[in-house]
């Protein structure tokens, strides 16, 4: 009997590990099949979106389980991307490594998560007049309250890249909202994190990340300092045309270069608690903090932000993930970790449109791995109008639009997000119908998960719309944005018609050699004012957009801002000229009335321009 028991025990010991290995092999095989099935979508979607090349690398905790390259690394040379060796620029995926470097310094006691950043910097670089301190935690979760700056981040050439401290000294936006109030994605916030790392050890940011992250991981082809062309680097494309390196002053936020093999080592380390090749090379506490929700833009939203990563809570739990995407001119990338399921995926493309390919691949991958059928959208209706929904009505402006610079004016032109009640009682957000699941938490009527929330600031009373990644603030102006835009366009219409009428009169007077001196003087004065405004509007739309803004405010935009400021000076002096004209006997009553109407239109346009940061050289 005893011998039988020993034999049975021996059999169980043999079968136990084999059973575990079989289960692991089964899971790995299932993942590999899912990757292969989802990868079928890549090439058709690359063709649809005009993406030259893409790589895909997937790992589980044991190693690489799928890797493939598609299309061209360089279309002119006809070279294909190698999923292991071809180097890509990964844009905002760089933020993972900036966050990791900062959190490891926190673990070593060099800097603190919740201390005042201004004290750690020991200078006056951060313009914060709101009283509340900005912390590293807030910088790493995009909740610092920094204004958005939409230009000046890219250098004209590698030789003109400024040191982080030098650039931030003149380019760091001010704090314009309460730190911790809301999530407003900020590249300059992460650039400031990079500078903070530099200041803590008097070591250049790129060198520090190389020493503390890349070298321990064996990421020998990764760098934040690859400013120009390099061996193995793919060529970036915009609309099918090859572009140059396009270095930036904001490297910690989005200028890392790497390849699939290096990213595989990083993903393996993350999945294995910082261990790779049997060695502990990364701080497991830092990795754990990155993968945990640190800030949710509103309770109930399914996606939160960790440190340098978005955290997506999916309903089945198994496919919960931590991820980041990135795109810039000529490049795009995405990395996503599925810690419960035990695998991770990285994709990179040499076109900004590659993000579409990555999203569609991930959607198909999740479909392949789904353990339960997708829930059916709730089709209830019609919906009753709830009395408390009235507090949500109004206009909202995207918080990512700068509050302190001239490009705030673009919001006036494009318009604010309007919230209203539809005829069937459904809340309409920018025309889309939403139903309230919980107080303040809404989803589209054909969706199953919440998409946005309404949150009121307890200090200011200002309402905001929150999605997981964006915040829209209630417009508190006495005059709605839509009416301000209408007033501007009507004023410019009056000015344009006046210029046309005076032009016709001038030609007629020139032919007949007539016209009163005072009348002509007034018309010239008013015409210069009107031409300044019309010229600004015509030139701004063409000059203040596109990649040229990335290297700073173009000279033509500076001149346009000077032009509109000169027009404003002439506009505010028009009432004096009109007053003199009213007492002049050689100006007709009709001309006096016309000049009065023109003056009112010019002053209205001036007020709108001033309110939206156009006047005063606010760059």
Q: 469-517: per-residue pLDDT in tens?
A: 999 999 989 899 999 999 999 999 999 999 998 888 777 766 665 555 5
pLDDT at residue number 415: 84
The Cα–Cα gap between 581 and 312 comes to 68
> What is the dihedral angle through the alpha carbons of 402, 408, 410, 415, rounded to the nearest 10 degrees?
90
Tokens (6 digits) for 512? 């007949």
- Per-residue confidence (pLDDT) for residue 371, from 0 to 100: 62
Distance CA 442, CA 487 (A): 33
SS3 89: strand
Helix (H) or strand (E) holding 99, with range, is: helix 94-107
Residue-by-residue DSSP string for 310-366:
EEE--TTSTT-EEEEEEEETTEEEEEEEETTTTEEEEEEESBTTHHHHHHHHHHHHH
Q: Do β-strands 343-349 and 331-338 pair in parallel, antiparallel, or remain unpaired?
A: antiparallel
pLDDT given for residue 25 in this prediction: 52
Residue 510 pLDDT = 65
Tokens read off for 155: 């250098």
d(CA 486, CA 607): 13
Three-state SS for 429?
strand
- Residues whose CB is less than 8 angstroms from the CB of residue 612 and which lie 6 or more positions away in sequence, other chains included: 408, 409, 411, 412
- CA distances 487 to 248, 480, 496, 607, 609, Å, are 40, 11, 14, 10, 11
Using 50 as the pLDDT threshold, list the residues of the chain that sit under it.
1-24, 372-387, 547
Other Cβ atoms within 10 Å of 390 Cβ, number: 10
What distance in Å separates the CA atoms of residue 338 and residue 58, rounded to the nearest whole number?
Answer: 11
Tokens of 159: 């030789």
Query: Quick check: pTM over 0.85?
Result: yes
**Cβ atoms within 10 Å of 431's Cβ, excluding its own:** 9
């Amino acid at each position: 009997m005893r011998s039988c028991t020993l034999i049975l025990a021996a059999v169980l010991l043999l079968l136990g590990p084999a059973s575990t290995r079989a289960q692991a092999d089964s899971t790995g095989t299932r993942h590999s099949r899912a990757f292969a099935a989802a990868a079928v979508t890549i090439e058709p979607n690359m063709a649809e979106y005009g993406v030259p090349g893409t790589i895909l690398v997937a790992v589980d905790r044991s190693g690489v389980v799928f890797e493939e390259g598609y299309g061209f690394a360089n279309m002119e040379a006809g070279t294909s991307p190698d999923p292991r060796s071809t180097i890509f620029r990964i844009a905002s995926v760089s933020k993972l490594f900036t966050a990791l470097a900062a959190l490891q310094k926190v673990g070593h006691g060099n800097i603190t998560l919740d201390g005042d950043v201004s004290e750690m910097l020991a200078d006056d670089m951060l313009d914060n007049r709101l009283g509340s301190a900005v912390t590293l935690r807030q910088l790493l979760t995009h909740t610092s309250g920094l204004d958005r700056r939409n230009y000046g981040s890219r250098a004209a050439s590698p030789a003109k890249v400024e040191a982080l401290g030098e650039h931030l000294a003149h380019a760091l936006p001010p704090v314009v909202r309460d730190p911790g109030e809301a999530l407003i994605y900020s590249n300059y916030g992460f650039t400031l994190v990079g500078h903070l790392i530099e200041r803590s050890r008097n070591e250049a940011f790129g060198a520090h990340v190389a020493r503390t992250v890349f070298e321990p991981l064996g990421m020998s082809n990764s760098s934040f300092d690859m400013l120009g062309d390099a061996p193995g680097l793919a060529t970036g494309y915009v609309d099918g045309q090859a572009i140059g390196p396009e270095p930036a002053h904001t490297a910690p936020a989005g200028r890392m270069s790497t390849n699939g093999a290096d990213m595989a080592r990083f993903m393996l380390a993350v999945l294995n608690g910082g261990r790779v090749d049997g060695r502990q090379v990364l701080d497991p506490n830092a990795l754990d903090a990155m993968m945990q929700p640190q800030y949710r833009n509103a309770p109930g939203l399914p996606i939160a932000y960790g440190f340098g990563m978005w955290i997506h809570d999916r309903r089945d739990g198994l496919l919960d993930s931590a991820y980041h995407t990135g795109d810039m001119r000529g490049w795009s990338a995405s990395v996503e970790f599925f810690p419960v399921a035990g695998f991770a995926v990285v994709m990179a493309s040499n076109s900004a449109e590659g993000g579409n390919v990555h999203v569609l691949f991930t959607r198909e991958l999740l479909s392949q791995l789904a353990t339960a059928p997708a829930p059916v959208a709730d089709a209830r209706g019609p919906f009753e109008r709830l009395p408390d929904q009235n507090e949500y009505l109004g206009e909202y402006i995207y918080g990512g639009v700068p509050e302190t610079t001239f490009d705030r004016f673009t919001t006036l032109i494009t318009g604010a997000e309007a919230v209203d009640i539809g005829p069937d009682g459904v809340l309409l957000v920018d025309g889309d119908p939403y139903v309230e699941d919980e107080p303040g938490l809404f989803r589209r009527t054909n969706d199953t998960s919440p998409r946005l929330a309404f949150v009121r600031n307890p200090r200011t009373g200002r309402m905001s719309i929150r999605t997981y990644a964006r915040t829209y603030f209630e417009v508190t102006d006495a005059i709605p944005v839509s009416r301000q835009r209408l007033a501007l366009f009507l004023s410019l219409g009056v000015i344009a018609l006046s210029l046309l009428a005076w032009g016709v009169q001038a030609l007629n007077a020139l032919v007949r050699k007539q016209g009163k001196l005072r009348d002509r003087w007034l018309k010239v004065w008013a015409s210069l004012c009107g031409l300044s405004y019309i010229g600004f509007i015509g030139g701004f739309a063409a000059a203040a957009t596109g990649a040229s803004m990335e290297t700073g405010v173009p000279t033509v935009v500076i001149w346009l801002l000077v032009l509109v400021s000169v027009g404003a000076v002439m506009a505010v002096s028009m009432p004096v000229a009109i007053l003199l004209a009213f007492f002049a006997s050689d100006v007709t009553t009709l001309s006096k009335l016309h000049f009065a109407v023109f003056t009112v239109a010019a002053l209205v346009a001036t007020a709108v321009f001033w309110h939206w940061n156009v006047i005063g050289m606010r760059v």
